[in-house]
Amino acid sequence: MNRYSKITKKIAREIVLLKGKPCKWGKCTFCDYILDNSNDEAYNHNVNVKALECITGEYGVLEVINSGNVFELPAKTLDAVRGILINKGIHTLFFEAHWIYRKHLERMRDYFGVRTIVKTGVESFHRDFREGELNKGFDYKNIEELCKYFDSVCLMVGIEGQTKDMIIKDIQLAMEHFSHFTVNVFVENTTSIKSDKGLIQWFQQEFTWLNNEHKCDVLWANTDFGVGALSY
């Protein structure tokens, strides 16, 4: 498992994959990332320290991810991240949280004390698909309410039941409403959710321009950021 990497394209930054407690939501039908979680906070922190020691601060930007939400990281790990931000002169931090944590985000922003870009894995703005198929648990009333809390969204493409029109609309809304977004091409895993290979091929042909869109990161494979189980 590789837990440290550098993203050199578009928004250059260092990225660490940390280990936390199980995702508090934990009901997404397509997600098996929970396999990297543990309730042993001392063990989690020891794993995290090794990744954090790699951070140089060379870009002034750091992204912290874990198999869940930033709030599920050990308190000692959060303290260590905050210390690194200060000691390495890092001015911008990316982190991720689920909709259920929306009312606690300002507290976390204040805790870190730097510019934050808060990401959330909405996966799709199409409510029936998002909640009926993916069980994401995002009960926002409109996209303006989502924007009130989050700076960046993560979208997913290539799942059975998804349509071209859904994807086109999702990309349009992300472009219009957010300063940054990520598109993840779905990779089949240990869950029962299946990929739509024809839809993925269409997306790769129609949306190659996203590779040159500064505000968008495209993960054609789920390890494109350089962290994760790269040997798989």
With cut-offs at 50, 70 and 90, classify the pLDDT of residue 33.
Answer: confident
Check if the beta carbon of residue 24 is closer than 8 Å to that of residue 73.
no
Average pLDDT, the chain: 95
Check if the beta carbon of residue 14 is closer than 8 Å to that of residue 63.
yes
Dist. CA 226–CA 217, nearest whole Å:
13
pLDDT digits (tens, 9 = 90+) for 152-206: 999 999 999 999 999 999 999 999 999 999 999 999 999 999 999 999 999 999 9
With cut-offs at 50, 70 and 90, classify the pLDDT of residue 232.
Answer: very low
Q: Has domain 4-219 been given CATH number 3.20.20.70?
A: yes
- pTM (two decimals): 0.95
Q: What count of Cα atoms within 13 Å lies in the side-chain half-sphere of residue 32?
A: 10
For residue 3, is pLDDT > 90?
yes
Sorted by where each begins, the domain ranges of the chain are 4-219
What CA dihedral angle connects 4, 7, 11 and 17, to 10 degrees? -30
For residue 149, is pLDDT > 90?
yes
pLDDT at 231: 37
3-class SS at 117? strand
pLDDT at 64: 98
pLDDT digits (tens, 9 = 90+) for 101-137: 999 999 999 999 999 999 999 999 999 999 999 999 9
pLDDT digits (tens, 9 = 90+) for 10-23: 999 999 999 999 99
pLDDT at 222: 82
Check if the beta carbon of residue 202 is closer than 8 Å to that of residue 45.
no
Check if the beta carbon of residue 15 is closer than 8 Å to that of residue 7.
yes
pLDDT at 221: 86
pLDDT digits (tens, 9 = 90+) for 57-66: 999 999 999 9
